[in-house]
Amino acid sequence: MKSGQGLILHVALLGVAGALAVRVLTRGETPVGAAEQVEVWGGNPSELKSVTFESPTSRVNLEGRKDSHGRWYVGSIEKLSQQPVPGMGDAGAPLSSAMGADGGAAKPGQKRETTHFVSIKEAEKLAESIAPLMAMRALGKVPKPQLVEFGLDKPEGTLRVAFNDKTRSLTIGGLTPGGSDRYAQNPETGEAYAVSGDFVRSVMFADSRLLERELHDFEPDEVTRVVITRAKSSRELARKVDKKSGWADAKTPDKLDETAGNWMSKVERLTATQYFEQVGVPVLPQYHVLKIEYFNGSKSVGFLELIKIPDDKSNAGYIAKTEYTRWYAQLLKSSAEQLERDANSVLK
């Protein structure tokens, strides 16, 4: 084959490959290695005011707040039951439509349930992933007949992100082929994108993904001593330097106290299961079970107040308040009961 003919053949093959690449891109099947990030909108997490995701059956909202301890978020989840009385309306209508644009009552036969929670670490990760929001690739304006191919004809929901000076919106479509990422479209411009599925899953499953489980933001081994107080009893424990999970009485720091160490291990495993801004009843002094103050050397790094609300007063059960939770955090009853029961053996 002559060199000129070989060159023509290579050019032709290159053209075919290019045409196939364009076709694959249009169908949203760009190979992973060919992905290129594109900015959907700019922004900074510090300027983020709220994040809202609305689907046909639920509405998730996060509102950013800031205090002396740092930035945190108040979350709310409104869910609409899908058991309408026959003939009483469309169960598949968007939540805003079913409830009314002003968030009013649900349709007859439907039930609206709202829960509130605190979100910190996971909400901050979400904020960083959407401010700015980067897409893996831009698909351009998708013709209306092709919306179904991207799941944008019947979207999963709409994401709204409010900054200090503007609000951005994104309609969330279907999954990309063979992956867990999503197609999305700017409702104002009609531009479509392939975006990471991580932030979409966070807002779609906020009750499990965004609720703050941790009671503190410090690592357990940062704490060198604690002061435990219950009624008129008090005891100071010091961490054993040569044993990570070991604790000793502060008066005899070289003598390992296994009972105290086991008890402190249970304290460290406590996690939040639900949040209450207000418990619903006055939190009386007699409801306070104990208090733990945490120190790194002479510096106070946090506290934990364990509280037990009587069953006949509230359904809150055992709750905790710490420097990190801001609100009252509900605890697993079995874990909190163990701490209360074994506290006497520690405060000897």
Q: What is the DSSP string of 252-268?
A: STTSB-HHHHHHHHHHH
> Stretch 2-12: mean pLDDT, rounded?
40
Three-state DSSP at 82 gives coil
pLDDT value at residue 27: 42
How many percent of the chain have pLDDT more than 90? 73
Instruction: Please say if the pLDDT value at position 87 is more than 70.
Output: no
pLDDT value at residue 112: 82
201 contacts 182 by C-beta, under 8 angstroms: no
Give the CA angle between residues 347, 288, 246 to the nearest 5°: 35
* C-alpha closest to that of 325 among 205, 217, 203: 217
Task: Work out the angle between the directed axes of helices 121-130 and 197-204 (0-180°, nearest 10).
Answer: 130
Instruction: Please say if the pLDDT value at position 28 is more than 90.
Output: no
Choose the weakest-confidence range: 17-26, 28-37, 123-132, 297-306. Answer: 17-26
263: CB partners within 8 A, 6+ apart: 339, 342, 343, 345, 346
> Stretch 287-305: mean pLDDT, rounded?
97
This prediction has a pTM of: 0.80
Give the tens place of pLDDT for each residue, 171-210.
Answer: 999 999 988 999 999 999 999 999 999 999 999 999 999 9
Distance CA(326)–CA(74), nearest Å, equals 10
* C-alpha closest to that of 324 among 233, 215, 206, 240: 215
Residue 51 has a CB neighbour count (10 Å cut-off) of: 26
Q: Which helix (H) or strand (E) holds 55?
A: none
Confidence of residue 241 (pLDDT cuts 50, 70, 90): confident
Residue whose entry in the numeric block shows the structure tokens 């969330």: 172
DSSP assignment letter at 199: H
